[in-house]
Amino acid sequence: MTGSTTTNKKFVNLYREPSNISEVMAGPWVDIRVDSIAAGDTLELESDTVEHAGFVIDGTATLTNGDGKVFELERQSAFAIPKTGRVSIAASSDVSLLHIEMTVD
């Protein structure tokens, strides 16, 4: 075609490290990915240099925050960890988790 230009399209791959989110989106994104936590395993997250948000795609887990409060996570549950927050996520069954990291001012 005459007069057309080709633009490199960028995309985010949630199943690859790194996801390249900061190259695609203009916001404070650091990374976005799907994490897996095997039944019986624990994922520790702390928001010091980045804030975390998570969305449970599948599975069940118990989230314990820094104050010792316990929350049950299941499919379609979500959580956010603000600056200075800390959580422990203990998987009761295999968990798939959409995990987002954003910069902290």
Report if residue 8 sits inside a domain.
no
Tens of pLDDT, residue by residue over 46-57, are 999 899 999 999
Look up the pTM and report it: 0.80
Report if residue 28 sits inside a domain.
yes
Number of domains in the chain: 1
Q: Taking 60 as the threshold, does the pLDDT of residue 28 lie above it?
A: yes
What range does the domain containing 72 cover?
21-103
Report if residue 3 sits inside a domain.
no
Tens of pLDDT, residue by residue over 55-105, are 999 999 999 999 999 999 999 999 999 999 999 999 999 999 999 999 987
Report if residue 5 sits inside a domain.
no
Tens of pLDDT, residue by residue over 2-24, are 554 445 556 666 666 677 777 77
| CATH number where 45 lies | 2.60.120.10
Q: Which long-range contacts (CB under 8 A, 24 or more apart) does 81-86 make?
A: 81/45, 81/46, 81/47, 81/51, 81/52, 81/53, 82/47, 82/51, 83/47, 83/48, 83/51, 84/47, 84/48, 85/46, 85/47, 85/51, 86/44, 86/45, 86/46, 86/47
